[in-house]
């Protein structure tokens, strides 16, 4: 069927003109910070890559602790382009988390969370949490020594939370220690539960973006500014950004395929120099700052409580920042955002080199 015939087939059944009208009318504010508007689209594009490569891998992966490690070795050595899909999935995940952090800090520093976009902020924040859990659950699926030890440390850390810690630890592990049951559980999270929540929340997030339109930074609102049509101007720039990101991910995947260590052995001692994924490093580095005992209380528990309070504060920031709610400049919250950003960066770098 030719394109014009396909179009008339649809227009006889659906009101295509209304959609065309809606897309045609959509505009995006033009100002010196507009580059921030592309970060969400980049995250979206990377999610699509993750879904496609993940689906390919799931056709061959065996989610059983006796065979999981071997099935990945088979994927990278025997399957046509299998190494490439695995490497693409690995690097896509790393760049997706970087893109999400950049998107978070752009929206934080431009105060895009302010009234009426609170729900946009909350849905995005939960999406970041889910993405980090995607990373942790996917890491274990490799079932090699390093992934096993790192997940043992990460789930053990959750156990230090007061009251709910031991429940969360046992829930994540599916028992007292990391075992084949944890693998089954993490597989279910990685390929079924998390994707379901992600698709739902991305739909809510994008719907809210369409409801509110793009926010204008407080430092720009008063000035004489123009709006750019979304289609084709901004849409083409989105495509260029996606092409650049695709280039970066494919280059990394080709040049640096991730290594696979020996099969996990729950009875063997943890390999030396175990480090969690880079986005957990700031947490582990913070834990190291605290002594074992503080005023007779467990130092790790106090550290985890303080970290949780810091994350909760960031989550609820739209309610605390009253000035930007009223449309006034709020320098204090810009500084708070900058301090969070530098703390994260410095602790991550120290975690890397220590």
Query: In the structure encoding, which two tokens stand for residue 283, read together?
Result: 């947490």
258 CB neighbour count, 10 Å cutoff: 15
Instruction: Tokens for 260, please give them.
Output: 């696979």
Asked if the bond preceding 116 is cis, omega within 30° of 0, the reply is yes
Residue 127 binds ligand HEM, judged by CB under 6 A: yes
DSSP-derived secondary structure letter, 223: S
Backbone angles phi, psi at 66, to 5 degrees: -70, -30
* Site size toward ligand HEM, by CB under 6 A: 25
Token pair 């490690």 is found at 69
Which of these ranges, 9-17, 114-122, 157-165, 245-253, lies near ligand HEM under the rule CB under 6 A?
Answer: 114-122
Distance CA 235, CA 342 (A): 32
151 binds ligand HEM (CB under 6 A): no
The site map against ligand HEM for 155-194 (x = CB under 6 A) is ----------------------------------------
Q: Is 337 one of the binding residues for ligand HEM (CB under 6 A)?
A: no
- What DSSP designation does 278 have? G
Q: Whole-angstrom Cα distance, residue 78 to residue 111?
A: 50
Report the length, in residues, of the chain.
Answer: 354
Which residue in the set 34, 40, 285, 337 belongs to the binding site for ligand HEM (CB under 6 A)? 40
b/e code 54-76 from CB counts within 10 Å (16+ = b) = bebbeeebebebeebbebbeebb
| Closest approach of ligand HEM to the CB of residue 98, in Å | 12
**Which listed residue (31, 34, 47, 87) binds ligand HEM by CB under 6 A?**
47
Q: Check if the beta carbon of residue 97 is closer than 8 Å to that of residue 135.
A: yes
> One symbol per residue from 128 to 147: x for binding ligand HEM (CB under 6 A), - otherwise; what is it?
x-------------------
Q: Which among 40-48, 137-145, 253-261, 336-344 is the span making contact with ligand HEM, rule CB under 6 A?
A: 40-48
27 within 8 A of 228, measured Cβ to Cβ: yes
Tokens 């539960």 belong to residue: 193
Measured CA to CA, the distance from residue 325 to residue 343 in angstroms comes to 26
Answer yes or no whether residue 324 interacts with ligand HEM by CB under 6 A.
no
**CB 135: neighbour CB atoms within 10 A?**
19
According to the binding rule CB under 6 A, does residue 100 interact with ligand HEM? yes
**In terms of Cα–Cα distance, which of 142, 137, 145, 128 is closest to 174?**
137
Q: Which residue lies nearer to ligand HEM by CB, 28 or 250? A: 28
Part in contact with ligand HEM (CB under 6 A); list of ranges 82-90, 103-111, 302-310, 345-353 = 103-111
Question: Which of 72, 104, 136, 141 is close enough to bind ligand HEM by CB under 6 A?
Answer: 104
For ligand HEM, the closer of residues 73 and 204 by Cβ is 204
Nearest residue (CB) to ligand HEM, 107 versus 334: 107
Least Å from the CB of residue 215 to ligand HEM: 4
- Judged by beta carbon, residue 117 or residue 152, the one nearer ligand HEM is 117
Quick check: 202 binds ligand HEM (CB under 6 A)? yes
Tokens linked to 52 = 């496609």
Q: Which stretch binds ligand HEM (CB under 6 A): 33-41, 53-61, 253-261, 324-332?
A: 33-41
Give contact residues for ligand HEM (rule: CB under 6 A).
37, 39-41, 43-44, 47, 100, 103-104, 107, 112-113, 117, 120-121, 124-125, 127-128, 202, 205, 209, 214-215
């Amino acid at each position: 069927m030719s394109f014009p015939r396909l179009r008339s087939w649809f227009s006889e059944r659906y009101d295509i003109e209304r959609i065309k009208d809606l897309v045609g009318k959509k505009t995006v504010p033009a100002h010196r910070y507009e580059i921030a508007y592309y970060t969400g689209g980049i995250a979206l594009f990377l999610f699509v890559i993750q879904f496609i490569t993940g689906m390919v891998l799931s056709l061959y992966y065996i989610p059983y602790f006796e065979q999981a490690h071997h099935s990945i070795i088979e994927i990278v050595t025997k399957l046509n382009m299998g190494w490439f899909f695995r490497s693409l999935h690995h690097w896509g995940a790393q760049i997706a988390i970087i893109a999400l952090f950049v998107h978070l800090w752009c929206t934080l520093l431009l105060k895009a969370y302010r009234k009426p976009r609170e729900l946009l902020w909350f849905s995005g924040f939960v999406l970041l949490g889910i993405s980090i859990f995607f990373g942790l659950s996917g890491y274990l699926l490799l079932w090699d020594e390093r992934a096993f030890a790192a997940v043992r440390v990460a789930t053990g850390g959750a156990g230090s939370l007061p009251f709910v810690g031991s429940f969360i630890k046992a829930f994540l592990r599916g028992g007292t220690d990391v075992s084949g049951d944890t693998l089954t559980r993490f597989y279910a999270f990685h390929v079924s539960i998390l994707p379901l929540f992600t698709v739902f929340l991305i739909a809510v997030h994008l719907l809210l973006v369409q409801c509110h339109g793009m926010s204008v930074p407080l430092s720009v609102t008063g000035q004489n500014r123009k709006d750019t049509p979304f289609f084709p101007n901004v849409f083409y720039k989105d495509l260029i950004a996606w092409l650049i990101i695709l280039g970066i991910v494919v280059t990394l995947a080709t040049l640096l395929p991730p290594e696979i260590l020996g099969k996990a052995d729950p009875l063997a001692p943890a390999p030396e120099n175990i480090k969690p994924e880079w986005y957990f490093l700031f947490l582990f580095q913070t834990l190291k700052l605290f002594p074992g005992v503080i005023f007779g209380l467990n130092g790790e528990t106090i550290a985890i409580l303080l970290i949780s309070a810091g994350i909760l504060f960031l989550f609820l920031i739209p309610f605390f920042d009253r000035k930007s709610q009223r449309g006034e400049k709020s320098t204090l919250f810009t500084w708070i955002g900058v301090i969070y950003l530098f703390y994260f960066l410095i602790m991550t770098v120290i975690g890397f080199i220590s």
